[in-house]
Structure 1
Amino acid sequence: MRSAIQKKVAVIVAHPDDETLWAGGTLLSHPEWECFVACICRANDADRAPRFAAVMQALGATGSMADMDDGPEQTPLPIPAVAEQVLQLLPYTQFDLIITHNIAGEYTRHRRHEEVSEAVFQLWEQQQLSSPELWYFAYDDDSRSHFPLADPTADIYLPLSPDIYQQKKNIITDIYGFSHDSWEAKITPSAEAFRTFSTVAEAAQWLNRNRILP
């Protein structure tokens, strides 16, 4: 999956590793994209933050991190605060493509994923972020009955080539440093999937059907 079309792409995620787990193969397949990754958590994590910087090099991207609360209690964050943090992280507000979390998350359950999804949609709806396309990660674990899997019914379903998948897996284990028997390494998807929207009305309808918050 390679294209000569150059795009300015924003990938907006909750945690360092989300960009790789859910879209890393897609980014590796498009070296011509000018990609910026905005991550709202863990900027002050002495282990994860420098690894995130190294991952950006491996993905051919640039990125920035913030340090919003990510404690185990998952205390809800105000969506306007998440949206403001996203705007502060991004170098500009006009993109050809924005990619972010599913409104229901990628597995059961992480509130920060849902909050980022909601915030990005509101920014797009209010035209504070501009892009002709908005893509949501499309994965599901069927209420923890299996590891998160790419949804084959999504608008885009991309089985990764062995080479791209190995590059992606190496980022998780060799750069992020997760052991080969860690949850992150075990669930690293070998296919990626996205729900795609070109109008606010279509996206709003889908979000209203699938939203979990509050």
Structure 2
Amino acid sequence: MTTLLAGCSTVPGGRSTPVPTRISRPVIPPTQEELVSMYGPIEDGGFLIPAIPFEKIDPRFYRQRVIDPTGETPGSIVVDTPSRFLYVVEPGGTAMRYGVGIGRDGFAWQGEGVIHWRQAWPRWKPPNEMVARQPNLERYSIVNGGMEPGLKNPLGARALYIFQNGQDTLYRLHGSPEWNSIGKAVSSGCVRLMNQDVIDLYDRVPYKARIVVRQ
């Protein structure tokens, strides 16, 4: 948490008022022990999420605190699509950064919106446009109730749903069992995180949080 230390300044009339001095969080890469803890197996929602072989992932995509490069207000979520990063902006000039996988060219959304809905272990209901492109997904369509939650569900352990002007963009931040897709552009538009990371993100991001997706 950000700590505020009160200094003093004198104002006319001789009164002293506290002057907050913000102490930023430490910005250091995670240690080996922290990585083992961060990406180890997790029991959640009745499911056992397997450990991630983080040694096989580019270290820049590990969850880590960094100096905020976004310039956005604290509490904002920023998806930097070209760099394959998602940031949660913190007070004090820092941000929590996550590596992400993104959509293929032609299946991407950009702009500003809000996290209008959040769901732990969501059902996956591919939109009609996706079903039209991949008829084998018909059994998981909206009318058929979608795919049940679980370790094989493409939305993973958590999903955060982006709305713009009160309308569902059909664009999601969500977990994925495919850890090796992080840093790549292979999905049909949504932003994927490792399941361990999306659980951490979910706990940091409130309902109605502002989100900016940059292409």
TM-score by length of 1: 0.24
Of structures 1 and 2, the larger Rg is shown by 2
TM-score by length of 2: 0.24
